[in-house]
């Protein structure tokens, strides 16, 4: 399962999406997406002005929603 992780580098806080997995029996992190700083994420979200559309091909998921 993926999760949002905040980390610091050179005194600045950055965000990334990571996934946990096991390699040779030890837990490891796999970086899926680097979002950057909070200002960068906000700029991406504000730039996306189209409404969010959700599509699902499974009837059970739509019913549960």
pLDDT, one tens digit per residue, over 49-59 is 666 566 656 66
Which letter, b or e, does each residue of 5-43 get, where b requires 16 or more Cβ atoms within 10 Å of its Cβ? eeeeeeeeebbbebeeeeeeeeeeeeeeeeeeeeeeeee
Q: What is the mean pLDDT of residues 19-46?
A: 88
Q: pLDDT at position 41, please?
A: 80
Q: pLDDT at position 62, please?
A: 55
Residue 32 to residue 19: CA distance in whole angstroms: 7
């Amino acid at each position: 399962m993926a999760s949002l992780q905040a980390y610091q580098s050179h005194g600045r806080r950055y965000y990334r999406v990571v996934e946990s997995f096991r390699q040779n029996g030890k837990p490891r992190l796999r970086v899926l997406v680097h979002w950057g700083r909070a200002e960068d994420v906000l700029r991406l979200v504000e730039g996306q002005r189209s409404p969010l559309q959700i599509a699902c091909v499974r009837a059970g998921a739509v019913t549960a929603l």
